[in-house]
């Protein structure tokens, strides 16, 4: 999902996100050693998603998975021509 420059009828900016693209990939919550390593480093990371490499994924986007919104913390290219996206639970839920 990507931030759109939406405006209200009065011309005031509205925080709104629109689907930028749809991809298939893994969606894994951190657990075990990875979870404790992230916690020890005071990281906000709660999970990781791996998709085919794209050059248009940025940290200002969000992920929508099963009607829940997740904030992208980082998007790192891997050696396998994929993109590893670290995320946390977003503030737009509920």
- pLDDT at residue 61 is higher than 80: yes
Which token pair is 74? 């980082």
Domains with residue ranges and CATH for the chain: 25-94 (2.40.10.270)
- pLDDT at residue 80 is higher than 90: no
- DSSP H or E run through 49: strand 47-52
* Least confident window among 38-42, 50-54, 56-60, 86-90: 38-42
| Pair 53, 77: CB distance under 8 Å | yes
Total-model pTM: 0.73
Higher pLDDT, 57 or 39: 57
Higher pLDDT, 42 or 88: 88
Q: How far is CA 42 from the centre of its chain?
A: 18
């Amino acid at each position: 999902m990507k931030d759109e420059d939406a405006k209200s009828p009065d011309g005031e900016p509205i925080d709104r996100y629109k689907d930028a693209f749809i991809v298939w990939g893994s969606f894994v919550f951190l657990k075990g050693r990875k979870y404790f390593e992230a916690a020890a480093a005071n990281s906000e990371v709660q999970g990781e998603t791996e998709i085919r490499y794209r050059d248009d994924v940025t940290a200002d986007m969000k992920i929508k998975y099963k009607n829940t919104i997740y904030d992208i913390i980082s998007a790192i290219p891997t050696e396998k021509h994929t993109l590893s996206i670290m995320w946390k639970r977003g503030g737009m839920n509920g």
